[in-house]
Amino acid sequence: MIPGQRETPAGSTGAGGKFDDEHYPAYTIGAAADLLGVTAGFLRSLDEAGFLTPHRSGGGHRRYSQYQLRLAMRVRKLLDEGTGLDAACRIITLENQLQDSERRHDETRAATEHPA
């Protein structure tokens, strides 16, 4: 699992409903592939590489969230630019780690500048 990705139970609901949750596994592998313009095999390769871990339905079928679809599109873009799969996955993982670090830094700075 990459930084920022979280598991979401299939029955969870948020304030706006489960389909408003970007981590809700709403898309089958076929629907996800169609939306992204890729093959199901491409999505399976991301799972096999350990980059995306789709939710599994009771029958074992892969289900993808909007967040995972965005990550898959980023990988596809890097591949189209000539980056290898392993390198593309590593780049995105590092980008997410940097973003998380910057967010934590900003939160810490705000807390020290405006203590409660």
11 in a structural domain? no
The H or E element that residue 112 is part of is helix 85-113
CB 44 within 8 A of CB 29: yes
Identify whether 5 is part of a domain. no
Looking at the structure of the chain, the number of domains it has is: 1
Residue 17 gets which letter from DSSP? -
Q: How many CB atoms lie within 10 A of CB 67?
A: 18
pLDDT category of residue 34 using cuts at 50, 70 and 90: very high
- Tell me: pLDDT of 99 over 50: yes
Residues 6+ apart with CB under 8 A from 78: 87, 88, 91, 92
Quote the tokens at residue 105: 């830094």
Average pLDDT, the chain: 87
Q: What is the pLDDT of residue 61?
A: 94
Q: DSSP label at 51?
A: S
Enclosing domain of residue 23: 18-113
pLDDT at 10 over 60: no
